[in-house]
Amino acid sequence: MYSTDEIDDTRLEVILPIIEISMRAAVNRDTGLSPYEILYARKMPLPSSISAGEITPNFYSADSRNYVRWLKNAITLINDGVRRSKAEHNQLMKENYDKKHKTKKADYSAGDFVLLRDNRIKANSDRILARKPYLNDKFVITEIVKSDHIGPAFKLLNTRTGRPVKNLILTG
């Protein structure tokens, strides 16, 4: 494709890096993975010379410019497909885990009274607890902060002192 009568063969080294990238990023039909992903277990980072939005280098043929544009688009589509597939797989794994371990969503609401567990000493530690694992005070949930990545977090208020807890509290 790059050695026709209208293309100067002496400038082929300008195009070779793009050809190498396309070969490393090409997805195998059977495995659904590119050679780069098989070798490094992650998607291939694109060099800045072919990042999205950058102008295509001026090659000597209209066919080669069209091919580079097509290649950029194909790599972007492949990366988007892999990203979507990984997200769907992670969601399926979460659903299977939740079903197997019979987990349930936290059903706390603002105004509920709760106990706060002191988790600063790790399990199997050689340190001795100087107090019970639960703090002696009762706490009330003042606000629930929603997050898709970590689940709900709670702002608590100490009912005895009336002071809010400094950090957000996660369930888990």
- Model pLDDT, residue 56: 45
Q: Where are the domains of the chain?
A: 9-100, 104-172
22 backbone dihedrals φ, ψ, rounded to 5° = -65, -35
Nearest-angstrom CA–CA distance, 92 and 94: 5
Nearest-angstrom CA–CA distance, 91 and 164: 35
Q: Please name the residue that has the structure tokens 């010379």.
A: 49
Q: Provide the β-strand partners of residue 139.
A: 114, 158
Give the other-Cβ count within 10 Å of 18's Cβ.
21
109-158 per-position pLDDT tens digit: 888 888 777 666 666 777 665 555 556 678 888 888 877 666 778 888 88
26-67 per-position pLDDT tens digit: 888 887 888 888 888 888 876 655 444 444 445 455 666 677
Q: What letter does residue 122 receive in the DSSP assignment?
A: P
Give the other-Cβ count within 10 Å of 146's Cβ.
8
Q: Is the per-residue pLDDT at 93 higher than 90?
A: yes
The answer to whether 12 and 3 are in contact (CB under 8 A) is yes
- Model pLDDT, residue 135: 61
Q: Read off the pTM.
A: 0.36
Q: Please name the residue that has the structure tokens 């002496």.
A: 10
CA angle 107/109/111 to nearest 5° reads: 145
